[in-house]
Chains A and B, each alone.
Chain A
């Protein structure tokens, strides 16, 4: 379990690691929203941005792709369901499969978008230390009225503590059930009850002990967290990204094509042999 937890954050000294977690937290939904486009040119640009960020973060090779294995079944399911549409009369078919070329292309774009969204999320977790993110959440929640930010931080820490404790308890209960042959019952409700009831009962007793221990140590919520204003340099990537998004939202798509073609023409002028 410890190995599994450690896999999520990869220590480093890159710009992405040092970037204020509050800005990362605000930037992630913005990037995810941009990945919702179905235009292949924009998806290529987003893909290159992701590759550049992953390269800048100097993450171990394969780290971004390894967690995707858990999503493969869902992606495969979406691909099959999206591609397998009733063939329209006259639509060009792919080989002998009952799949039209248009529906296959649409399914491929959908998968591309989903993978991009997942990869941005994985990258975010890989370059953000959980404790930094917790403090960032406390600081982001602080201006909101009626939100006890320290209580939320305590609860997050307690949940992680209880999570590992309950995992251990679940392992013990499963071993006990196996010894009593309780896991061979044919009724699913009875099997669930045989696992969950002793687990929840023991966990409730441990939680009560934990609450008493916190009370005995005089837990209080008026602790001081030093203010840490976001540096201008940390805001800059967000501002540039927001300007790009707004610009592309209101420009016509051909303008983006023209921009890319102009860029390619300039590149051909600079490096005639390359194009």
Chain B
């Protein structure tokens, strides 16, 4: 197998692993500790591009479904995927792909990357909130109040951090994969 492809495969695995670790470690900010899962989802899109970011997030779901504690609160197993918060997990795949797609077409421009992380963050809720509404049979207002609004301030912080980190890590990736590939 060609080395660049092998490197891409390992990088996708690394981003999936980082997303899992992001669900386990939390940074206490104010009274509520925030987990870093969404940060790594966006980072996967910005660093790997749409195709490999989707592969990384799909892999994250697969490893979680196998029962390893990579979901929020060090949880794992199919219960998380079919449970009320399963939509957010499936939203990660879409968010990674969308963030990567917009960042790729934007050709490294900051404006494109800002739009990419914003739309990527919203994509998670676009799938997670209707899923939560369907599973709990709440009204739309309640589902949004419970499943989206409390997390939006934290997501803004994570989106800013993802942008900053992507710009700092891109040179390392370019050294590893070559400037054309990264």
Contacts and interface: CB of A to CB of B under 8 A. Distances in A.
Q: Do A and B come from one complex?
A: yes
Interface of A: 4-5, 8-9, 28-29, 32, 38, 67, 70-71, 74, 77-78, 81-82, 106, 110, 114, 117-122, 124-125, 128, 130, 133-134, 137, 151-152, 154-156, 158-160, 162-163, 165-167, 170, 174, 188-189, 191-193, 195-197, 199-201, 203-205, 207-208, 210-212, 214-215, 219-221
Contacts of A29: 82
A75 B145 CA distance: 15
Interface string B15-40: 01110110011010100001010010
Interface string B38-53: 0100010000000000
Interface residues of B, number: 65
Report, nearest first, the 4 A-B pairs whose CB atoms are least far apart. Answer: A121-B79, A125-B77, A162-B17, A8-B67
B66 interface: yes
A158 B10 contact: yes
Contact of A200 (B3, B7, B13, B169): B169
A71 B83 CA distance: 10
B92 to A, nearest CB: 14
B169 A220 contact: no
B165 A197 contact: yes
A121 B136 contact: no
B180 interface: no
Contacts of B36: 192, 196
Given A156-B59, A207-B11, A221-B1, 13 more contacts: A8-B76, A67-B75, A117-B79, A119-B79, A130-B68, A155-B55, A188-B29, A197-B168, A200-B165, A204-B173, A207-B13, A208-B176, A215-B6
Contacts of B161: 188-189, 192-193, 196
A28 B1 CA distance: 36
Contacts of B54: none
Interface in B50-97: 55, 59-60, 62-63, 65-70, 73-85
Contacts of B17: 159-160, 162-163, 165-166, 203
B181 interface: no
A213 to B, nearest CB: 10
Contact of B66 (A70, A77, A120, A130): A130
B117 interface: no
B20 A163 contact: yes
Contact of B21 (A8, A74, A78, A166): A166
Contacts of B18: 166, 199-200, 203
A122 B68 contact: no
Given A130-B66, A162-B17, A215 B1 contact: yes
A154 B157 CA distance: 34
Given A159-B59, A221-B1, A204 B14 contact: yes
A146 B161 CA distance: 36
B60 to A, nearest CB: 7
Contacts of A166: 14, 17-18, 20-21
B31 to A, nearest CB: 13
A133 B66 contact: yes
B78 A125 contact: yes
Contacts of A158: 9-10, 13
B66 A204 contact: no
Count chain A CB atoms within 10 A of each CB in B17, B70, B81, B84 and give the residue with the most: B17
Contact of A167 (B9, B21, B83): B21
B8 to A, nearest CB: 9
A140 to B, nearest CB: 12
Nearest to A84: B142
